[in-house]
Amino acid sequence: MPPKRQSARAAAAAAATSPEPVAPPKTKKSTTAAAKKGSTTAAASTKPASKATTTKQKQTAAAARKQQKTDAESDKENSPSPKADDKKRKRTGAAAKKDETSDDENVEDEVSDVEPAPKKSRVTKDYGFATATANKTAKPMKPVKGPKADKVAKPIKQAKAPLKKRVPKALKVINEAPNVVMDIFVFGEGSSGELGLGSVKVDGKKPIDVKRPRINPNLQNVVQIACGGMHVAALTSDNTILTWGVNDQGALGRDTQWEGGLRDVEDEASDDEDDDDTGLNPKESTPAEIDTSLVAPDTVWVQVVASDSATFALTSTGHVYGWGTFRSNEGILGFDKNQMVQKLPVLVPTLSKIKMLAAGSNHILALDEKNKIFAWGAGQQAQLARRLLERDDASALYPSGIGSLPGRAKANFITCGSYHCFVKADKGVIGWGLNNYAELGVSTEAGQDGGYILKPQFISSLEDYDVADIAGGEHHSLACTADGQLLTWGRIDGHQVGQPEEAYKEDNTVWDENNKPRILLYPQPVPGIHNIVQVAAGTDHSFAVTSEGKVFSWGFSANYQTGQGTDEDIDRPTLIDNTAIRDRKIIFAGAGGQYSILGAARDEEESA
């Protein structure tokens, strides 16, 4: 049976008879904490009392606090510990509770004027919105939900802003375009518009067969020239690529359809001399900008190269664009496996961070910033440095690495002949490709039809020379050294190497059945030529430019491609000297199939 509940008066009497708690005098902080603990214990052992009882308790508590302050100043050793004091309070509370139970019936009639205590002790718990009642016999009430908050009007959905065009991250610039502006001089065969002089006579001069260097008024602000077999590409200082010449397989990268038709230019000599119309397609024979509709905006061009039927261009960020097609001995190979002829410039997607390009007749080399060399195009003469399973293997049309250079050499310059390749590296000159005329400068396979070198190898015959520049023609090659020497080697019978008769010896020459020199096996210095800083080679003719801005030419000249004013072969390097370039400083020479181009540094006054 639960004990009977005490009356209010009994509770007051119990409080009056209870001894006053003595607080520990250790410190002010400890004393206060102990007092709080003691008051909590006493409160837990008593029932709710009347207002009079509450007043009495407050007075008692005030007296206790006053006593505590006095006792705090006494010696700490005489004060009881907090634990002993707690035990004393617990005993006092228990005695008071016992007395309350025994005296409950005697004082019941005296407290009729006092409000009765509640039936059960209640403990309140805060659930946030409402208060619930809990006791030992009843189950806790479920939290009472508070009043619902006023509904907040949902904001009206606004129409989504249109998606912004994603701007690609700016690419790192790794290449710079040339900045020296040149005046361009042309000469040689022009029956297919290769000279870029247009389709009509200018000042009574035909734009077809030009015997000596003539300035091209259609070309302004040119900083670089690339000569293909029968077409040309030029880069200008205002970031424009111009093309002209034959466009049968899309090599010009633009539309050149013309309704005027063609006339037989071979009969031009018999035509009326007063007829200014040459019958050339003006859209092919006049330099014009390539179509850039498939080129990324803000592209900056830094280099162009040209093969027989294709053109490729390098950007400042190391990307490569190309157009046209590749050809083999059997005909058109295609631009890639999906496109036989690519008429407009498109990105070559597998190439990036390219630093330099080079072009042969139907193959391309690319050198990247990590010293890796890629090759693609026709590979029947081993110019791709890899063996193809089939002659028309489509995999050849995609750039593929040629592997590490011998001796882990690092390349700093690449160039191509028609079917062979050279790399100028930190450890020497490396070459591969067709070598049936010793165009690589090695005797292996020389004189054999279809002889070639498959894998890149050091050209030992050039080990004793510090090569500064190197170029290749169809079956011959030439180079210049850091000290200005001119070196030549390869095919002889068209005067391609420009050597005197005494240069051909038993140990360096292959002789034909008529005991005539046919192949010069190894590089030989050309006597009497000095201060050479740049070399160039066409199919069977060559050029050497001096540090003073003079230019020498030699070789096959049936179409006036040597610029010497004659269609007779030039057997030895000969200075080009005509009024157009006599007082100009030549800084560039380029050669195609049957035409040639020179670039003269523009005078400072003209540049201004």
Alpha-carbon gap, residue 501 to 118, rounded angstroms? 137
Do 311 and 322 contact (CB within 8 A), yes or no?
yes
Do 291 and 254 contact (CB within 8 A), yes or no?
yes
Alpha-carbon gap, residue 596 to 186, rounded angstroms? 6
At residue 359, the pLDDT reads 99
Alpha-carbon gap, residue 231 to 304, rounded angstroms? 12
Q: Which of 306, 258, 259, 267 is nearest to 285 (CA)?
A: 258
**Residue 421: which residues within 8 A CB-CB, separation 6 or more?**
358, 360, 365, 375, 383, 385, 414, 415, 431, 432, 433, 456, 472
Task: Report whether pLDDT(164) > 90.
Answer: no
pLDDT band, very low/low/confident/very high, at 205 (cuts 50, 70, 90)? confident
Of the listed ranges 152-156, 222-226, 331-335, the least confidently predicted one is 152-156
Task: Report whether pLDDT(43) > 80.
Answer: no
| CATH architecture of the domain with range 173-259+276-345+352-360 | 7 Propeller (2.130)
What are the contacts of 295-298 at 24+ separation with CB within 8 A?
Answer: 295/321, 295/345, 295/347, 296/347
At residue 107, the pLDDT reads 39
- CATH fold label, 465-578: Methylamine Dehydrogenase; Chain H (2.130.10)
Three-state SS annotation for 264-290:
CHHHHHHCCCCCCECCCCHHHHCCEEC
What are the contacts of 582-585 at 24+ separation with CB within 8 A?
Answer: 584/183, 584/549, 585/548, 585/549
At residue 403, the pLDDT reads 96
pLDDT band, very low/low/confident/very high, at 38 (cuts 50, 70, 90)? very low
Mean pLDDT of the 116-132 span: 44
Of the listed ranges 44-48, 403-407, 474-478, 565-569, the least confidently predicted one is 44-48
What percent of the chain clears pLDDT 90, i.e. is strictly above it? 63
Mean pLDDT of the 85-91 span: 46
Mean pLDDT of the 434-462 span: 96
The amino acid at residue 589 is A
Q: The tokens of 299 are what?
A: 């592209």
Of the listed ranges 20-29, 206-215, 478-487, the least confidently predicted one is 20-29
Task: Report whether pLDDT(85) > 50.
Answer: no
3-state secondary structure of 243: strand
At residue 450, the pLDDT reads 87
pLDDT band, very low/low/confident/very high, at 260 (cuts 50, 70, 90)? confident
How far is the CA of 9 from the CAs of 109, 116, 371, 534, in angstroms? 11, 11, 105, 125
CA-based angle 192:196:200, to the nearest 5?
80
Alpha-carbon gap, residue 28 to 37, rounded angstroms? 14
Q: The tokens of 458 are what?
A: 């050091």
pLDDT band, very low/low/confident/very high, at 271 (cuts 50, 70, 90)? very low
pLDDT tens digits, 556-565: 999 999 999 9
Task: Report whether pLDDT(49) > 50.
Answer: no
Sole residue written with tokens 């004189």: 447
Alpha-carbon gap, residue 521 to 526, rounded angstroms? 14
pLDDT band, very low/low/confident/very high, at 71 (cuts 50, 70, 90)? low
Task: Report whether pLDDT(541) > 90.
Answer: yes
Mean pLDDT of the chain: 81
Task: Report whether pLDDT(360) > 50.
Answer: yes
Sole residue written with tokens 């502006």: 181
Q: Which of 336, 389, 381 is nearest to 361 (CA)?
A: 381
Q: Which of 109, 133, 113, 114 is nearest to 123 (CA)?
A: 133
pLDDT tens digits, 479-514: 999 999 999 999 999 999 999 999 999 999 999 999
Residues of the chain with CATH 2.130.10.30: 173-259+276-345+352-360, 465-578
pTM, rounded to two decimals = 0.72
Mean pLDDT highest for which of 11-25, 79-93, 123-137, 152-166? 152-166
